Homo-oligomer: A and B are copies of this chain.
Amino acid sequence: MQEVESIKEFGGFLKRYTHQSAVNNCEMVFSVYMPPQAEKSKVPSLYWLSGLTCTDDNVRTKAGMQRIAAKLGMAIIMPDTSPRGDNVVDYPNRYDLGKGAGFYVDATESPFYKHYNMYSYIVHELPSIIEDNFAVIKGVKSISGHSMGGHGALICALKNKGAYKSVSAFSPICNPTKCDWGRTCLATYLGADEKQWLQYDATALIENGASVNEILIDQGTADEFLEKQLYPQNLADVCAKKEVTLNLRMQEGYDHSYHFISSFIEEHLLYHSRYLES
Q: Interface residues, chain A, CB within 8 Å of chain B?
A: 7-11, 14, 61-62, 64, 66-67, 220, 222, 253-255, 257-260, 262-263
Contact across chains for B258 and A222 when beta carbons are under 8 A apart: no
Q: Give Cα A64 to B14, complex, Å.
A: 16
The reply to whether A263 and B9 contact each other, CB–CB distance below 8 Å, is yes
Which B residues touch A258, using CB under 8 A? 61
- Residues on the B chain within 8 Å of A260, using CB: 8-9
Total identical chains:
2
The complex places the Cα of A66 from the Cα of B263 at a distance, in Å, of 9
Nearest-CB residue, chain B, relative to A252: B8
Known contacts A14-B259, A259-B14; is-contact A253 B8 (Cβ 8 Å): yes
Contacting residues, chain B, for A11 (C-beta < 8 A): 263
* Complex: A10 Cα to B8 Cα, angstroms: 26
A66→B7 contact, CB < 8 A: no
Considering residues A10, A11, A262, A263, which has the most beta carbons from chain B within 10 angstroms of its beta carbon?
A: A263
Q: How far is the CB of A156 from chain B (nearest CB, A)?
A: 28
Are B64 and A255 in contact, CB atoms less than 8 angstroms apart?
Answer: no
Contact assessment for B7 and A257 in the assembled complex, using a CB-CB cutoff below 8 Å: yes
**Can you add 12 more A-B contacts, CB < 8 Å, to A9-B259, A61-B61?**
A7-B257, A7-B259, A8-B220, A8-B222, A8-B255, A9-B263, A10-B263, A14-B259, A61-B62, A62-B62, A64-B64, A66-B259
Closest to A8 in B: B253
Q: With both chains docked as a complex, state the minimum distance between the C-beta of A153 and any C-beta of chain B, in angstroms.
A: 22
Question: Which 3 interchain pairs have the tightest Cβ spacing?
Answer: A9-B259, A8-B253, A64-B64
A-B contact pairs, 15 of them (CB 8 A): A7-B255, A7-B257, A8-B253, A8-B254, A8-B255, A8-B259, A8-B260, A9-B260, A9-B262, A10-B262, A10-B263, A61-B61, A61-B258, A64-B64, A67-B262
